[in-house]
Amino acid sequence: MAMAAGVLWIIFGSLAGLSLAMIVLSAFIAAANRGARVGVEAASDLSCPATISFLIAVVFICMGIQSVRGMVGDRLRYGLGSIFFAFLPFLMLIYSASRGEFIEAGIEGLIVAILLAAGILALAGRSQYKLWRKARSAHNPFRK
């Protein structure tokens, strides 16, 4: 349970990176289909979502790697942040489901499930994580 939250954060960050790749790919497809001018407009329209997807991917992958490697003293902030960050996709899920957009609602439900599970696992496994981290640092002469 102590490492599962970190693995889920890495998975979520990877999915956000995949989302970034899809955003960039859609801009290239628009440029190829409609000409360079439309492609530039599509790229400029997608620059904000691409930047946000990139930042989300980097943050969650770093959170997961730090957590799995034992570089985080206490995962309280990571766990609470993960639960808090699940709130926006949950609102989007409700909105999409109310409009009958069930594919989008399903994707948002997956995002909410991953973030909530990671947050709950991080909070529930805090004491185990601290013990594992302490035992790990005791056996490593290069750690403080």
- Tell me the CA distances in angstroms from 96 to 23, 31, 66, 100, 141, one per residue in order: 20, 29, 34, 6, 53
CA 138, distance to chain mean position in Å, is 31
Which amino acid, residue 77?
R
Per-residue model confidence as pLDDT tens digits over 73-127: 888 999 999 999 999 889 989 998 999 989 888 988 999 999 999 999 999 998 8
Say which DSSP state 73 is in: S
Q: How far apart are CA 85 and CA 111, in angstroms?
A: 10
Sketch the domain layout of the chain as residue ranges: 4-137
Within a 10 A sphere around the Cβ of 65, how many other Cβ atoms?
A: 15
Q: How much of the chain, in percent, has pLDDT values that exceed 90?
A: 40
